[in-house]
Amino acid sequence: MVLFEILALIFAYHRNWFLSGAAAFLSLLVWQPSGIFLIVIALLSIFQSGKGLQRLRGIALFMGGALAPGLLVLLYFIFHGAINEFLDGFLFAFTHLERSQKSLFNHFYRPIYAIFRGFWVMSIPIILGLYEIILLFSLRLKKFGNDVFLWLREDRLAAFLIAFPLIIIWSLIDFQDFPDFFIFLPYAAIGFALVLDKYLRKKFVADAAKKAFVIVCVLLIVVSFFVYRFTAEEGLSKQRKWAAKIDKELIKDRNFASIGVPEILVLLKRTNPNPFIVINGGIDQYIDSITPKGFSGWLNELEQYNPSVIAFGRTKGRLKPAITSWLGKNYQEKKVGRWVLFVKP
């Protein structure tokens, strides 16, 4: 999503409407809220393509670019007879997603908490970078005499800047967890680069400022790399030990299933008996609507698969009591590391 977001903005900067449309649509396919870029670039293909036939050409190129990957994906799913699955997945956020009720304070708190929880090493550069983008917004408007229409027509940074407040608004409405912050990372990176550039230009002559800029960037990358390797390796090595113990002592050659613990399937190199490895935010209602005999039918299918061990993690929804009741009747709870397992007696 971040890759396609960056490409869409780069191509929009160069007014390559075809490639910008294609990249924006691919970003949308990965994560639907990034459709903000598709809307913004569509708008700019009208404003920045010129007049008359040039404008029509710009709009046509954008639409062609956006439709090309969309049609390829649709044809792929049609070929495999899975168009309903595609539409269900693509429209899930609008048809089945169940958002938890949050206070006004929580809407502001969660995105800020996500920065410090998910990106604690880079939290200061991120905050400085995002603040710099806000300043950049006002500077670009002033450059065009605070004439919004002139700015929309002429500024090559318009797509980048218009999308920014829209992303903020979306995040205040519906921010789930720190991965939702990924969409801000290009803004934080560019903003912090501007902060560094301003500071270093004041302290050094031009050539020395460039060298200092590169050194700081390399240091940040090295710090990020080592912090990630050490923290990730420590957690991963523990999980590997837990997975090996579960495989050897509990599962052996018998069936296994996971509800809410997707990582355990990867470490055990196993496939779940159904695609619902996480059940939250309305997925229980989706299962209830598509499975013969509803949610109880889905539990019956799982029972017929007869897993000797079920990993059970974070699960939410109205139908959670039905799952926990079924697990309690048929399995015994056991803990390995941080994982909660339900084992057949």
Confidence label for 205 from pLDDT (cuts 50, 70 and 90)? confident
Confidence label for 280 from pLDDT (cuts 50, 70 and 90)? confident
- Residues 122, 90 share a domain: no
- Residues 248, 175 share a domain: no
- Sequence length of the chain is 345
Mean pLDDT of 206-226: 88
pLDDT of res. 127: 92
Mean pLDDT of 75-84: 94
Q: Is residue 112 part of a domain?
A: yes
Q: Which of 217, 190, 202 is nearest to 126 (CA)?
A: 190
Cα–Cα distance for residue pair 7/21, rounded to 1 Å:
10
Q: Is residue 223 part of a domain?
A: no
pLDDT tops 70 at residue 38: yes
DSSP category for residue 24: H
- Residues 33, 109 share a domain: no
> Over the chain, what is the mean pLDDT?
90
Mean pLDDT of 55-81: 94
Q: Is residue 2 part of a domain?
A: yes
Check residues 155 and 112 and name the one with the higher pLDDT. 155
Q: Which pLDDT tens digit goes with each residue over 140-153?
A: 999 999 899 999 99
Write down the residue that tokens 């902060």 correspond to: 195
> Which range has highest mean pLDDT (18-27, 119-128, 217-226)?
18-27
pLDDT of res. 100: 66
Does an H or E element contain 341, and which? strand 339-343
CB–CB of 235/339 below 8 Å?
A: no
pLDDT tops 80 at residue 233: no
Mean pLDDT of 248-268: 91
CB–CB of 180/30 below 8 Å?
A: no
Task: Specify the long-range contacts of residues 216-223, CB closer than 8 Å, at least 24 apart.
Answer: 217/193, 220/122, 220/125, 223/121
pLDDT of res. 29: 92
- Expressed as residue numbers, the domain containing 55 is 1-98
CB neighbours of 165 closer than 8 A, spacing ≥ 6?
A: 137
Cα–Cα distance for residue pair 316/98, rounded to 1 Å:
10
Mean pLDDT of 8-27: 96
Q: Which of 92, 90, 91, 95 is nearest to 29 (CA)?
A: 90
Q: Is residue 215 part of a domain?
A: no
Does an H or E element contain 258, and which? strand 256-259
Q: How far is CA 306 from CA 185, 301, 302, in A?
A: 44, 9, 7
- Residues 124, 90 share a domain: no
Cα–Cα distance for residue pair 209/201, rounded to 1 Å:
6
- Residues 73, 44 share a domain: yes
Amino acid at 78: I
pLDDT of res. 240: 92
Longest dimension (CA), the chain: 75
- Residues 171, 92 share a domain: no
Cα–Cα distance for residue pair 159/344, rounded to 1 Å:
56
Give the predicted TM-score (pTM) of the model.
Answer: 0.82
Cα–Cα distance for residue pair 207/220, rounded to 1 Å:
20
pLDDT tops 80 at residue 232: no
Q: In this structure, what token pair is assigned to residue 204?
A: 């050094």
Q: Is residue 128 part of a domain?
A: yes
Q: Is residue 20 part of a domain?
A: yes
Q: Using a pLDDT cut of 90, give the percent of the chain over it.
A: 57
pLDDT of res. 101: 67
Q: How far is CA 89 from CA 86, 275, 286, 326, in A?
A: 5, 12, 10, 27
Q: Is residue 229 part of a domain?
A: no
pLDDT tops 70 at residue 107: yes
Mean pLDDT of 90-103: 74
pLDDT of res. 230: 76
Q: Look at phi and psi of residue 310 and say left if phi exceeds 0, alpha if psi is from -120 to 50, else beta.
A: beta
> Which range has highest mean pLDDT (5-9, 220-224, 238-242, 311-315)?
5-9
CB–CB of 64/21 below 8 Å?
A: yes
Q: Which pLDDT tens digit goes with each residue over 155-183?
A: 999 999 999 999 999 988 888 778 889 99
Amino acid at 100: S
Cα–Cα distance for residue pair 340/342, rounded to 1 Å:
7
